[in-house]
Each structure stands twice: as C-alpha cells, then as structure tokens.
Amino acid sequence: MQNLSGDIDAIVEGCGPLHAPTEDTVRPLRQQVFEHVRARGQVPRVAVAKDLAVSPASVTTITSELIESGFLEEVQSRKQGETGRGRPAVALRVRPGARHVMGLKLADRRNTAVIADLSGQVIASAAAPRELQALTLEQLLDDVDALMHKVCAEAGLTPADLSGLGLGIPGFIDGTSRRMLWSPVLQARDADITGPLEQRLGIPVQIDNDANLLTLAELWFGVGRTIPNFAVVTIEQGVGMGLVINQRLYRGARGMGMELGHSKVHLDGALCRCGQRGCLEAYVADYALVREARTALNLPDVEGPSVSSLLEALLGQAKSGNPAAHSIFRRAGRYLALALANVANLFDPQLIILAGERMSYDYLYANETLREMKTMALDTGRAPPRVEIHAWGDMVWARGAAALALDHLTESMLGHAREMAAQ
C-alpha cells in the first residue's frame, strides 16, 4: 500500500491519458493528434507521428490546421541539461487560454468549482458552503449560477466566455436521458437538471456521478494517466466507485454502473439512505458513522454538533479505548475489506485507489483492513491489486468535472460531428 497526498498537478506535465486505448480506431486522426499533444504537454511533431504510428506528412498537415485554428502553438524546446548553440527543437503544445470550461461539484456541505482552459490548466477556483439539506431545483440552479459568477470573477472572465460546464453530483444518474434519478442534495426524483441549467446558463452542460468524476481526475491528472485498468473507491457522505477499463471510464449500459456503496454486505442490516437495508454505505459513510456515534457517545438524536465534530469525537473515543466506538470502526473496516475484495475478484484492476474526506480516518485503510481484503480475495498465487490512498483536497472533484467538460468540448470541436459537418 502507498499513501499519497499533495498537489495533483505535480505528477506529470500535460493532462489526459498518456496512452490511447488499444485498437482505438473510432476517433478522427485530427482529434487523436490534438489529444496526444495535450497529454504530453509539449512534444515535437516527429514524436507525435511515431507515437501514433502515422506518417510525418499527415501530422504536419493536421498540426498546421490546428495551429491555424488556434488550438495548438509552436514553442522552442530544449531537453533538460541541453546547452548546445544550435536552434532549439520546435515542439507543439495546446495554446494556453484557448477556450475555457468550468467544473463544479455539488456536495452535502460544500460546493467547489474550477475554471480550466483547453490545455487542462486550472486558472481559478472557488468554493461555497451550503447547509446540509436537500435543495429544490430552483435552489440548485441558483447555487450553480452563483458559484459560476464567483469563479469567473476569480478568473477575470464572464460566464459568456465559458464553452461548457461539467457538473458532478452524488446519486443515481441515467446517462442516456441525463436525468437525475435520485440525489441526497436534491428534493425531486427523476428530474431533468441539465435542460434547465443549459437554458439558464446558456452553455452546454454535462452531468455525471461525482465518483465517476473523481475517477476522471485520476485518469486525466493523476496516476491513472499511465495505468489502463484501475478502480477508485470514494468514502465521504456516501460510498462511490469509478472504474477505468482500457483507459476509458466504464459507466454501464445506462450510466448507472459501479454503485459499490449500494452493494449488500448484510442482508436485512442497517438502513441505508437509498431506502434499502444492508448496503455498504449504511456502515461506512458519514451519516452511518454519525448515527452510530450518537449511540456510542450517548448523544440525543437532535440537531447539535456538526458531522465533522461528531466523527472526530467518535474517533477520539475509539483511540482512547472506548469499546463501543472501536467496534463501530472495526465493523466498518471489515465491511470495507469485503467490498474491496469483491472489487478485486470482479474486475482484477492493477490499482485500487481509496479517496475522499474519510481517508483522514486511518481505520479505513489500516493494515488490518487490507490484510482482511487479501484474505477474502481469490487466491490465484499472484499478488492482489495494489492499494493506494489519495487524500486530495476538495478541488480535485471539480477538476474531474472540468475534464468531463473538456472531453465533450474536444469531441464537439474535433470529433465526428465536426468531421461530418464539413463534408
């Protein structure tokens, strides 16, 4: 196990997967060239041709068009330590400041947002606290609108300068209809929120489950850039999961796959906020631990200390030897170990990343929990998947939402829709 934290920008220059999916024949070559330059950050034409296995002449023609369109630019580049007198080599990069998108994560207690340009560089960020209650659709629109104006002001832009919005929200989203079937932050069920948002904001809106967007952040900006198959398990107000297979995010037939938090670990067990019993989330998520904390600490079931304060108190009690508090964490750790073993058995990922606010509580990734995971995983004689802890800050979720918006913007500019329109 490796425990990582810090600035996700510091991992690799550029953004996006460094290796295209195998047998990638779907995207136009123009799009592949652009995305390869963006992923490498800065790369000579000859390297693009070699990496994509296409002719140098084709790369020259395509990159010239992309430069003329304002998407790429040429820069002088020397290798590190090179001090020769000759002309530096010419490399390509995405032109800084070309187009802008916004990524936004709606959460139970704090909304976060970033603005990124077409290269993936974040130029501004902002956050806004909110009360722990479900919103009406109008309140949700107001919150998004207000945070958009706030982060645009930080960036020195106006909302009209944005080319798209990526929105992350916890809950169940139908990827086909783009409807929000259920979310703990929204009062309505089976609601269309993308249509009203696009009408109000005047830009294209992409929506996805927040765990998927944290996984996109790892795929675009983190260690997932070089790993074709990995899983991300998030533990915060709920329990989520994202899965990357062959460098692509897997969403399921309707965009509703990977609901690890609602896999059953105890038949007829504790009540989950989804309405069913025995879900993993009902033992590991914030609200589940708070429910148990009120009992362990003999607190009345009324409004009182904040969620964070209650969890800190519960953890302190467990560390000081309170058997009831310790048993809550012990049970949560065992159920988490069972879930991780199931992930390993079902998908055989190279890496399982544990992420989210609850990573600050060591019971979730203690050696005892990981040992149990290995015990419950299928014994094939080979090492189980590597497990890493990524305790990134709140903004990484919004960066994943920005990656979603950038992906759709790139497709609209350089993908098949543009190619067909030109015919």
Domain span holding position 197 = 100-215+396-421
CATH number, domain with residue 340: 3.30.420.40
State whether 192 and 238 are in the same domain.
no
The Cα angle at residue 408 between residues 403 and 414, in degrees rounded to 5: 120
Alpha-carbon gap, residue 38 to 25, rounded angstroms? 19
Last residue of one domain, picked from the residues 58, 75, 94:
94
Average pLDDT over residues 52-66: 95
What band does 9 get if pLDDT is binned at 50, 70 and 90? very low
Residue-wise pLDDT tens digits, 287-310: 898 888 888 777 766 566 677 788
Last residue of one domain, picked from the residues 66, 94, 122:
94
What band does 189 get if pLDDT is binned at 50, 70 and 90? very high
State whether 266 and 331 are in the same domain.
yes
Q: What are the Cα distances from residue 266, in Å, to 210, 323, 334?
A: 25, 22, 12
Burial of 26 (0-12, 13-18, 19+ CB in 10 A): exposed
Nearest Cα to Cα of residue 218 among 249, 258, 251: 249
Nearest Cα to Cα of residue 37 among 75, 86, 9, 68: 75
Residue 4 counted as domain residue = no
State whether 104 and 82 are in the same domain.
no
CATH number, domain with residue 73: 1.10.10.10
Residue-wise pLDDT tens digits, 116-171: 999 999 999 999 988 778 899 999 999 999 999 999 999 999 999 999 999 999 98
Q: Which residues pair with 249 in a beta bridge?
A: 244
State whether 280 and 383 are in the same domain.
yes
Q: What is the pTM of this model?
A: 0.88
pLDDT of residue 346: 93
Average pLDDT over residues 30-34: 95
Is residue 253's pLDDT more than 90? Answer: no
Tokens of 359: 């990573």
Tokens of 402: 């920005």
- Classified as helix, coil or strand, 195 is helix
Residue 106 counted as domain residue = yes
Q: In this structure, are residues 91 and 43 in contact, taking their beta carbons and an 8 Å threshold? A: yes
Per DSSP, helices labelled H in 109-265 are 137-155, 194-201, 210-221
Is residue 78's pLDDT more than 60? Answer: no
Q: In this structure, are residues 58 and 36 in contact, taking their beta carbons and an 8 Å threshold? A: no
Is residue 354's pLDDT more than 80? Answer: yes
Q: In this structure, are residues 115 and 123 in contact, taking their beta carbons and an 8 Å threshold? A: yes
By DSSP bridging, strand 386-390 and strand 2-4 are parallel
Cα-trace Rg, the chain: 23
Tokens of 381: 């004689």
Nearest Cα to Cα of residue 103 among 18, 186, 166, 36: 166
- Classified as helix, coil or strand, 21 is coil
